[in-house]
């Protein structure tokens, strides 16, 4: 075993996060001193970790000698004074600025001057926590994610007065723990919680407009983009008593920037105790830990599908025409649709209503299809009606696009459907993080793919769907909603204008 960067590590707080960090540190060869204000919690943490190592030894994944060594390196600390010999002290306690500041003020008077003090805060300012310290240069953020052994990324955050050598030492230690460090500026949410704002908050806006129900939004984002969990499944997993306060904290710390605006939906559900899987009810109801999801509506039975006319301004028009041919549709090729035709539009960012008005189409016969993502790359097609769309035209479009067995969701009118809105918001927030130099593009991509499990990093996602397409979606969303939430980041706007990858960092 290599000599660990920090020989003796103190952990304050023995909840799931503290235990996870203690486990990694002991496995890396550090002596770990555990402290908690509840004395019995220390023994429980030691017992839980010991049982875990014993089980690994029984399965042959760890030698008995290694398990015994790990357990021997876990030491209880009866008082904060017992942490005096630690060269690294990590706090993993309640997310309250006053409590953290008080703790570190006390710890600074106990440890040696050369010791590093680190906070595992997920949303509070590292600079603010260190504000009352005599040696703020020795203080940094060290943000792990739950479950710590499995989430292989750790954010290393420098406060305004943090010595860069401290961040370098913490980064080296993170690698010894088997994790990937990413360097973050001291901004609200750091990297992962900042970059993750778009996914949940935009999905909540879509649900709040009654565009689609929670399950449909989840299905669309999983099947069209490849997210492993839909936003509402994710909310239920993390629980609203955790995720909603983080949304509010980041929003307030950015002085109510509309990009990060929380939702009344989660505020209300949190107030009502409907917080997620752990209580058996959230956006879904759970029976024996399994979400109860209503089945999708069956494909309508339509005896005679009308001829189809495709807008000349449709996104991926040639691809859409070929798809219609493959599905056996009767395609009209005139400059305008016949009075019987099902009219298809495929806008980027605009809603179906706006397109029907601008193109002087009969809204009663007009249906939209989302083609931000090429059809061959998706498991689901998404159609949108407008308030005047006739039921027979809606059903005909649904039946037609389901002919080859691919899943189809029909939603109410929305600028940017579902996928366009969520993807554009994710890409825009990530672009602005790079504009602010919260982190490097490379660290952003690493943090998000490891910390959030996205199928692509947000900048790679922007490149995948095209920066110019994402810009078009954002500009048109601004027109539809009049909300500065959708204002494009300069990073995205400039790179889109000159055809440059969003991952490109200026010299």
Residues catalogued as catalytic: 122, 143, 155, 193
Tokens describing residue 347: 């806008």
The neighbour count for residue 298, using CB atoms within 10 Å, is 8
The pair phi, psi for residue 307, each rounded to 5°, is -65, 155
- In angstroms and rounded to an integer, the radius of gyration of the C-alpha atoms of the chain is 26
Pairing of strands 88-91, 116-119: parallel
Tokens describing residue 163: 């010595």
Tokens describing residue 285: 């109801």
Q: How many helices (H) and strands (E) does the chain have?
A: 20, 16
Q: Is 407 helix (H, G, I), strand (E, B) or coil?
A: strand
CA–CA–CA angle 96, 187, 88 (5° rounding): 60
On the CB side of 505, CA atoms within 13 Å amount to 12
- Give the bridge partners for 291, in sequence order: 286
Our measurement of the distance from residue 503's CA atom to the centroid of its chain's CA atoms, rounded to an integer in Å, reads 19
* Nearby residues of 256 by Cβ (< 8 Å), 6 or more positions away: none
C-alpha span between 318 and 234 (Å, rounded): 36
The neighbour count for residue 356, using CB atoms within 10 Å, is 25
Long-range contacts at 244-248 (CB < 8 A, ≥ 24 apart): 244/270, 245/95, 245/123, 246/122, 246/123, 246/189, 246/193, 247/197, 247/200, 247/201
CA–CA–CA angle 90, 95, 101 (5° rounding): 65
C-alpha span between 440 and 182 (Å, rounded): 9
């Amino acid at each position: 075993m290599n000599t660990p960067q920090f020989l003796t590590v103190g952990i304050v707080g023995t909840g799931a996060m503290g235990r996870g960090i203690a486990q990694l540190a002991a496995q890396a060869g550090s002596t770990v001193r555990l402290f908690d204000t509840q004395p019995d919690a220390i023994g429980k943490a030691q017992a839980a970790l010991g049982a875990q190592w014993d089980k690994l030894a029984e399965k042959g994944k760890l030698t008995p000698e290694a398990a015994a060594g790990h357990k021997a390196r876990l030491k209880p600390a009866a008082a904060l004074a017992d942490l005096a010999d630690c060269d690294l002290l990590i706090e993993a306690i309640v997310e309250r600025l006053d409590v953290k500041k008080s703790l570190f003020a006390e710890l600074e008077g106990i440890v040696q001057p050369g010791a590093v003090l680190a906070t595992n805060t997920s949303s509070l300012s590292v600079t603010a926590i260190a504000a009352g310290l005599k040696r703020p240069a020795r203080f940094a953020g060290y943000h792990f994610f739950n479950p710590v052994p499995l989430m292989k990324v750790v954010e290393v955050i420098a406060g305004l007065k943090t010595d860069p050598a401290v961040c370098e030492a913490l980064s080296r230690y993170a690698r010894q723990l088997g994790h990937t460090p990413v360097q973050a500026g001291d901004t609200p949410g750091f990297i992962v919680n900042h970059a993750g704002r778009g996914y949940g908050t935009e999905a909540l806006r879509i649900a709040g407009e009654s565009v689609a129900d929670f399950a449909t939004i989840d299905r669309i984002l999983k099947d069209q983009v490849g997210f492993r969990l839909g936003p509402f499944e994710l909310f239920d997993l993390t629980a609203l008593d955790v995720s909603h306060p983080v949304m509010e904290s980041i929003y307030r710390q950015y002085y109510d920037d509309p990009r990060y605006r929380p939702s009344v939906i989660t505020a209300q559900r949190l107030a009502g105790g409907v917080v997620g899987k752990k209580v058996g009810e959230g956006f879904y109801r759970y029976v024996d830990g399994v979400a109860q999801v209503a089945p999708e509506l069956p494909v309508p039975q339509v005896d005679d599908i009308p001829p189809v006319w495709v807008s000349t301004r449709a996104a991926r028009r040639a691809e859409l025409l070929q798809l219609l041919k493959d599905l056996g549709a009767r395609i009209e090729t005139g400059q305008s649709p016949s009075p019987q035709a099902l009219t298809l539009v495929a806008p980027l960012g605009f809603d179906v209503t706006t397109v029907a008005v601008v193109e002087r189409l009969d809204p009663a016969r007009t249906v939209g299809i989302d083609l931000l993502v090429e059809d061959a790359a998706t498991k689901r097609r998404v159609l949108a009606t407008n308030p005047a769309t006739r039921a027979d035209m809606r059903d005909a479009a649904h039946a037609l696009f389901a002919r080859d067995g691919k899943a189809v969701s029909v939603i109410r009118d929305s600028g940017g459907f579902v996928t366009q809105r969520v993807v554009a918001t994710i890409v825009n927030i990530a672009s602005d993080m790079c504009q602010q130099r919260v982190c490097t593009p490379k660290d952003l991509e690493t943090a998000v793919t490891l910390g959030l499990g996205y199928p692509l990093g947000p900048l790679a996602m922007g490149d995948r769907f095209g920066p110019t397409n994402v810009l078009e979606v954002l500009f048109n969303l601004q027109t539809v909603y009049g909300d500065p939430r959708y204002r494009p980041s300069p990073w995205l706007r400039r790179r889109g204008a000159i055809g440059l990858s969003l991952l490109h960092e200026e010299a």
